[in-house]
Amino acid sequence: MSGYDDSREEGEDREESVETIHRELTAFARRARSTAARMHPELSLVAFTLLAHLADQRGCRATDLAAHYMLDKSTVSRQVAALEKLGFVERRPDPDDQRVQVLHPTPSGYEVLTTAHARRQEVFRRRFADWPQDDLTRFAEYLVRFNEASVAYDASAS
Binding string, residues 34-53; x marks residues near DNA by CB under 7 A: ----------x-xx------
CB nearer to a second copy: pick between 70 and 107 = 70
* 53: CB partners within 8 A, 6+ apart: 60, 65, 68, 69
Q: How far is the CB of 144 from DNA (least distance, A)?
A: 24
CB nearer to DNA: pick between 18 and 67 = 67
Q: How far apart are CA 127 and CA 147, in angstroms?
A: 22
Cβ of 74: how many Cβ atoms within 10 Å? 10
State which of residues 73, 92, 119, 145 lies at the interface with DNA (CB under 7 A): 73
Strand ranges (DSSP E) for the chain?
89-94, 97-105
Asked if 79 touches DNA (CB under 7 A), the answer is yes
State which of residues 99, 125, 126, 127 lies at the interface with DNA (CB under 7 A): 99
Asked if 75 touches DNA (CB under 7 A), the answer is yes
User: What phi and psi, each to the nearest 5 degrees, are found at residue 110?
Assistant: -60, -35
Q: How many amino acids of this chain bind a second copy (CB under 8 A)? A: 54
Residue 78 and residue 59 in contact, taking contact as beta carbons nearer than 8 Å: no
**Interacting residue ranges for DNA, rule: CB under 7 A:** 44, 46-47, 61-63, 70-82, 91, 96-101
